[in-house]
Amino acid sequence: MGYAGGTAGCVVASRLSEDPNARVLLLERGPLVDGWAAHVPLLASNFTTKTAPVYRQRTVPQPGLGGRVVDMIGGKGLGGGTLVNAELYTRGVPGEYNAWAIAGRQGWGWEDVEPAFKKSQMWIPPKDTPAFMGSEGVNYDAAATFGVPVVADGNDPNGPVAWCSRLDSTIAKDGKRNMIQDAFLPQKLVSERKGRLTISVGALVHRVGFDKESDVIRATSVEFGDDATAKGEGTAKYSVVATREIILCAGAIITPQLLLLSGIGPRADLEFHKIQVVRDMPGVGAHLQDHVSVPVQYHVPLEESIEGLQAKPLFAVGQLLKYVFTREGIFGSQVQQAGIFLPSSALSEDGTAIRKDVLEHAHRHTPRHVPDIEVMFLPVDSDPPTNQGTPKRGVFSYLCAAVQPRSVGSVRLASKDARDAPVVDLGLLSDPEDVVVLRKAVRFALAFQARLPVEGKGVVPMTPWSAPPGERDREVDEWVRENAGTTYHYSSSARMAPEAEGGVVDDRLRVHGVANLRIADASVFPTIPGAHLQAPVVMVAERCAEFVKAAAASS
């Protein structure tokens, strides 16, 4: 039994139901999202519309951001985050995973995880389409001038530790957005597996039930109700019994909430909410991480930016028709087509030059020079104010992200009701070291933009719009704290680590001290990978399915 049917949940349900003797139930709170628009790459990424299949909530005030609260988004429906994400496929460098293995996570080094990445991927060479909105060609030239290698595939495990590349995407050959349920639970497969795979949407899980009569705590059941009507903690309508395993896949915000509602978490928090303590586990909801990011932005002509679609209806209609007839154009593309990853150690102290001496001796397989900065090239305002009306100018953003952040936050219960969003503290910039990394990243982005060729094909005029007011450290840091926000990459809130070190699951993804309960989603990463998280989440789900199958085979 797996819940819920997000990114990892769909993978786990698909893999486990390969076994004709298995009986798999997938419980997903949100709806089945299908239809034409849901598969148009650009349209589906727009989570700002009222009808977007998302949860919306806010963090508590973030001291690291001067007390600002931050808007959060999570995908709601079969497919989870892949319903609305930006479709980027990035694995992270081998050194990320080798660092986990060195820290003691057995079976999680690069040579262990690479097969799971490969298993779930079908690589399709990119169509040789013209550069998207001018966001590639010129920036590639600038990267090369800057000394950042331009590579064909950023996911190459043996590439350089600093690179600029086009980013792979989860757009299928037919030009449609390939959400996780399209890839792992297509209708045909679900029909073929009728009888051994049941998917229930609109099913709100309230808690896991345990068998407490034996010496061992054993997860035995799941209580759930109708998402629309289920009220309060005591009103779950149904209870299903799991004969083998229960796998939580509700993502880094909700998985810890469900553990807490089930009585697994810090004793004091559970007692405060009058929840019977099944197991006192301080790590639940602790160590929440995210990639904190800040955009350096420029005004560009409207037609060079996604804002042009809103401001120029005829242009938008033309692009839409282009997509309908050729599956190409702006609507057939992901928003971010290219970007730069690099370790801050490879930048000069002031961030404005590449240190070739560092790059020469660095290797992707060693943890030492894992990139901690990503600069995303986005032909759009990366943080649009709501109700802004028709845009008058286009925007190009260099979204600078700290992708190995040290800051951590937490997930705590707001109430005993599973429908209430938990209290989330993303802890953004709570560790001053992350400000230092972003300071360097911002200076790099500014210096990078200044290197764009001033004349030639594809060059568009860019006038500074959102950037630090001065060059001194203090000015940059204050600006970073005033403008930084989430990248929606919530992670590591029920992390894989020994319990004494704040861990929640062991190396086989089993919840410590509880039989028959595993977790497979973004919450288990020991530390947040320096990649967009979808591919690493799928990798974790593949590994989880292997572990469950192996356990079943040996029992």
Ligand X SMILES: Cc1cc2nc3c(=O)[nH]c(=O)nc-3n(C[C@H](O)[C@H](O)[C@H](O)COP(=O)(O)OP(=O)(O)OC[C@H]3O[C@@H](n4cnc5c(N)ncnc54)[C@H](O)[C@@H]3O)c2cc1C
Q: Determine, following the binding rule CB under 6 A, whether residue 29 of this chain makes contact with ligand X.
A: yes
Are 277 and 267 in contact, with CB atoms under 8 Å apart? yes
- Which residues contact residue 470 at a Cβ distance below 8 angstroms, ignoring those fewer than 6 apart? 476
**In 3D, which of 490, 484, 526, 491 has the Cα closest to residue 505?**
526
Q: Determine, following the binding rule CB under 6 A, whether residue 4 of this chain makes contact with ligand X.
A: yes
**In 3D, which of 379, 373, 336, 382 has the Cα closest to residue 88?**
336
CA 13 to chain centre: 20
Specify the stretch interacting with ligand X by CB under 6 A; choose among 16-24, 67-75, 104-112, 355-363: 67-75
**In 3D, which of 319, 171, 242, 259 has the Cα closest to residue 26?**
242
Specify the stretch interacting with ligand X by CB under 6 A; choose among 149-157, 249-257, 340-348, 430-438: 249-257
Q: How far apart are CA 133 and CA 334, in angstroms?
A: 11
Q: How far is the CB of 72 from ligand X (least distance, A)?
A: 8
Q: How far is the CB of 243 from ligand X (least distance, A)?
A: 20
Give the active site residue among 287, 369, 489, 512: 489
Q: What is the DSSP letter of 129?
A: P
Span 184-213, contacts to ligand X by CB under 6 A: 204-205
CA 412 to chain centre: 20
Of the residues 13, 25, 38, 73, which one makes contact with ligand X according to CB under 6 A = 73
Are 30 and 201 in contact, with CB atoms under 8 Å apart? yes
Taking the least distance from each CB to ligand X, the nearer of 397 and 435 is: 397
Specify the stretch interacting with ligand X by CB under 6 A; choose among 5-13, 92-100, 391-399, 422-430: 5-13
Span 338-367, contacts to ligand X by CB under 6 A: none
Q: How far is the CB of 497 from ligand X (least distance, A)?
A: 18
3-state secondary structure of 153: coil
Of the residues 13, 33, 62, 76, which one makes contact with ligand X according to CB under 6 A = 76
Q: How far apart are CA 191 and CA 197, in angstroms?
A: 9
Q: How far is the CB of 252 from ligand X (least distance, A)?
A: 6
Taking the least distance from each CB to ligand X, the nearer of 88 and 408 is: 88
Q: Is 93 annotated as a binding residue?
A: no
Total residues binding ligand X (CB under 6 A): 41
Span 156-185, contacts to ligand X by CB under 6 A: none
- 428: which 2 tokens? 């953004």
Taking the least distance from each CB to ligand X, the nearer of 47 and 315 is: 47
Q: How far apart are CA 14 and CA 120, in angstroms?
A: 11
Q: How far is the CB of 284 from ligand X (least distance, A)?
A: 15
Are 270 and 279 in contact, with CB atoms under 8 Å apart? no
Site map 493..532 versus ligand X, x via CB under 6 A: ----------------------------xx---------x
Between the CA of residue 469 and those of 67, 352, 439, 460, 465, what are the distances in Å?
Answer: 21, 17, 13, 23, 10
Site map 79..118 versus ligand X, x via CB under 6 A: -xxx-xxxxx------------------------------
Q: Closest-CB residue for ligand X?
A: 6
Between the CA of residue 145 and those of 185, 354, 414, 452, 456, what are the distances in Å?
Answer: 45, 10, 51, 9, 15
Span 380-419, contacts to ligand X by CB under 6 A: 418
Between the CA of residue 117 and those of 91, 121, 324, 540, what are the distances in Å?
Answer: 8, 7, 32, 9
Q: Determine, following the binding rule CB under 6 A, whether residue 489 of this chain makes contact with ligand X.
A: yes
Q: How far is the CB of 49 from ligand X (least distance, A)?
A: 13
Peptide bond into 4 cis (omega under 30): yes
Q: How far is the CB of 1 from ligand X (least distance, A)?
A: 12
512 is catalytic: no
Q: What is the CA radius of gyration of the chain?
A: 23
Q: How far apart are CA 530 and CA 68, in angstroms?
A: 25
Span 259-318, contacts to ligand X by CB under 6 A: none
Taking the least distance from each CB to ligand X, the nearer of 354 and 484 is: 484
Q: How far is the CB of 552 from ligand X (least distance, A)?
A: 22
299 is catalytic: no
**Binding-site residue set:** 205
- Just list the catalytic residues: 489, 532
Binding site for ligand X (CB under 6 A): 3-8, 27-30, 47, 73-77, 80-82, 84-88, 204-205, 249-252, 254, 418, 488-489, 521-522, 532-535, 537
Binding-site annotation: residue ranges for FAD: 205
